[in-house]
Amino acid sequence: MNGAQALIRTLVDAGVDVCFSNPGTSEMHFVAALDDVPEMRGVLTLFEGVATGAADGYARMAGRPGATLLHLGPGLGNGLANLHNARRGRAPLVNVVGDHARSHKRLDAPLESDIDALAGTVSGWVRRSMSPADVAGDAAEAVAAAKKVGVATLILPADVSWEDGAEPAVPLNVRPRPHVAPSLVEKIAKVVTSGEPTVVFLGGDVMASAEGQLAAARVAAGTGVRLVAETFPARSARGAGLPDLHRLPYPPEMAMAALKGTKHLVLAGATAPVHFFAYPGLPGHPVPEDCTVHVLSVPGEDGVAALEALAELAAPGAEPEVMERETPELPTGPLNPRSLAAVVGALLPEDAIVVDEALTSGAGLTEMTSAGPRHDWLSLTGGAIGDGLPMALGAAVACPDRPVIGIQADGSAMYTISALWSYAREQANITTIICDNGSYAILEHELTRVGAASDGERARKLLDLTGPGLDFVSLAQGMGVPATRATTAEELADQLRAALAEPGPHLIDAVLR
């Protein structure tokens, strides 16, 4: 058995059976080995950023590692932005990055680069397999590391792939998430029952599960503390029967106002919030100066169990306040962000997966869907735009029986637009709504926030997506995805109904003016 065969067999035996790939010459023996291990599903993408973003979305929804296959340092470099998002969301992900054969490394070939250094910027674990005898054991360790730390990268020299002498390795046991010490829960119970203004800040595994949110709501009902969620949780359970959790706003002034007067900030599955950027005259974070930050659980610990224990101790017998089923009325007239949100909220199907990269066009989107049918919500966790289309692909592969709806800003869609081709090839059940406002609107807002506002024509042109405009219907159809254009709320509603009623991918270009 050669190294590539042993590697893939080890991955499959460890539960990693989907690989989002953009291979090159150095990875050809891995590609050939897919026929020897048919349990591994290979999903071809036309750009590495699609492969890494899809593996992120897959991992978030499957709850186990997705894999990528990338070509040398430049291929890894093309995928770094969405590996950054995966790292920030702690998604379990195994990168297999091909490299030159060991004898070829010293020749400084044109594609030679420092893959180890590149991988280290986004990985919690990096290893280079040095012989066929090592590769399967390295693969088993990569899967175990991904489950613990998020992104794990295994560098695979070409000759290690093609040489014989390898055997599959037994998967490694990974201990469950560690529980929070009872003494810490007791300490936090004194904080939340102190009567002082307290916010419990929710993220990670707490937001991903109904059980975590309901435990937090019990604490709030029994103690009077406020609940605030991370601005961009990696995965959120949402809908009727769950608490109405408001996220910390993105704009720094609004985030500071949301936490104003808070004396205690309790972190449950989240880290302390900071602003995405520095702004003149503002602090780097929204937490008041006289607020004490307490840690109930950190990412990687069992935050759900910690909140359940806290609820038993601090709020025994309290009943959580949850939302009754409610959906907005279908709007009429021209399309704008709020009417788009209302259409999505009115037609959102049961058990949907919503992938949100609407950015500035998302006004009202979480509000209009919060009390609708139960669904999962994936956010742009790391802030590197271009993750939305690939994440939807990964989510659809992980959950083929669930409808996926991608709400996608137009500018960031172009970063990874080739994901649509993979949608068509895989016949993924994804409906994409492009928020087509013809501009990098988020950067127009940032231009003002950082004090660089300009009325100059040259500055405006760098934020404008017209001249020529982007024809998303033609782009989608050219890659095999049926597409329509909506300019009114009525048209969007009709087209969304039709798309959801038919399996496979669809795109709606929602023109917002």
Q: How far apart are CA 187 and CA 179, in angstroms?
A: 15
Q: What share of the chain is helix, strand, coil (3-state, %, to 5)?
A: 40, 20, 40
Domain boundary among 267, 283, 314: 314
- Residue at 152: amino acid letter: A
The reply to whether omega before 328 is within 30° of 0 (cis) is no
Report which DSSP code applies to 171: P
C-alpha dihedral over 338, 342, 344, 346, to 10 degrees?
Answer: 180
Q: What is the pLDDT of residue 513?
A: 80
Residues of 63-98 as b/e, b for ≥16 C-beta within 10 angstroms?
ebbbbbbbbbbbbbbbbbbbbbbbbbbbbbbbbbbb
Boundary (domain end) residue, out of 314, 349, 381 = 314
**pLDDT exceeds 90 at position 205:** yes
Instruction: Kindly tell me if the per-residue pLDDT of 445 is higher than 60.
Output: no
Whether residues 155 and 186 share a domain: the answer is no
Residue 328 lies in a domain: no
How many Å apart are CA 339 and CA 467, to the nearest integer? 27
Q: Please, which pLDDT band fits residue 451 given cuts at 50, 70 and 90?
A: low
- What is the DSSP-derived secondary structure letter of residue 209? -
Three-state SS at 180: coil
% of the chain at pLDDT higher than 70: 96
Q: Name the band, by pLDDT with cuts 50, 70 and 90, for residue 40.
A: very high
How high is the mean pLDDT of the chain? 95
Among the ranges 271-275, 438-442, 452-456, which has the highest mean pLDDT value?
271-275
Which are the contacts of 63, defined by CB distance < 8 A and separation ≥ 6?
A: none
Q: Looking at the predicted structure, is the pLDDT value of residue 441 above 60? A: no
Residues 145-182: pLDDT tens digits? 999 999 999 999 999 999 999 999 999 999 898 999 99
Q: Are both 244 and 282 inside the same structural domain?
A: yes
- Give residue 332's pLDDT band: very low, low, confident or very high (50, 70, 90): very high
Strand order in the sheet with 93-99: 41-44, 18-22, 66-71, 93-99, 151-157, 125-128
321 found inside a domain: no
371: helix, strand or coil = coil
How many domains does the chain contain in total? 3
Is the per-residue pLDDT at 327 higher than 80?
A: yes
201 and 67 in a common domain:
no
Average pLDDT over residues 380-409: 97
Q: Are both 283 and 351 inside the same structural domain? A: no
CA distance 404 to 98: 32
492 phi and psi, to 5 degrees? -60, -45
- pLDDT, one tens digit per residue, over 400-412 is 999 999 999 999 9
Where do we find the tokens 């005898």?
133
Give me the pLDDT at residue 158, please: 96
Q: Is residue 325 part of a domain?
A: no
Can you give the length of the chain in residues?
513
* pLDDT at site 460: 63
- The answer to whether the beta carbons of residues 213 and 230 sit under 8 Å apart is no
Residue at 174 is within a domain: no
Answer yes or no: do 190 and 156 share one domain. Answer: no
For residue range 66-98, list pLDDT tens digits in order. Answer: 999 999 999 999 999 999 999 999 999 999 999
Indicate if 199 and 304 belong to the same structural domain.
yes
CA–CA distance, 425 with 437 (Å, rounded to integer): 28
Does residue 297 form part of some domain? yes
Q: What is the CATH number of the domain that holds 8?
A: 3.40.50.970
* pLDDT average, residue stretch 283-301: 96
264 plus 147 within the same structural domain: no
pLDDT number for residue 464: 73
Structural domain includes residue 373: yes
What is the edge-to-edge ordering of all strands in the sheet holding 198-202? 246-247, 226-229, 198-202, 264-268, 292-297
Structural domain contains residue 156:
yes
Name which of 5-19, 113-127, 388-402, 444-458 the model is least confident about: 444-458
Would you call 404 helix, strand, or coil by DSSP? strand
Q: What is the per-residue pLDDT across 348-378, written as a single tens digit (0 to 9) for each?
A: 999 999 999 999 899 899 999 999 999 999 9
Question: Amino acid identity of 155?
Answer: I
On whether both 200 and 158 belong to a single domain, the answer is no
What is the three-class DSSP state of 157? strand
Nearest residue to 434 via CA among 418, 454, 414 = 414
CATH number of the CATH domain containing 286:
3.40.50.1220
Assess whether 446 and 501 both reside in one domain: yes
Domain end: 110, 131, 162, which one? 162
What is residue 153's three-state secondary structure? strand
Are residues 233 and 122 both part of a single domain? no
Q: Is the pLDDT of residue 444 over 60?
A: no
- Residue numbers of the domain that contains 428: 337-511
Secondary structure in 3-state letters for 97-133: EEECCHHHHCCCCCCCCCHHHHHHCCCCEEEECCCHH
Do 33 and 129 lie in one domain? The reply is yes
Res 455: pLDDT: 64
**pLDDT at residue 502, rounded to an integer:** 96
> Distance between CA 396 and CA 428 in Å, rounded?
6
What pLDDT does 446 receive?
A: 58
Give the span between the Cα atoms of 198 and 183, in whole angstroms: 20
In a domain, 402, yes or no: yes
Same domain, 395 and 263: no
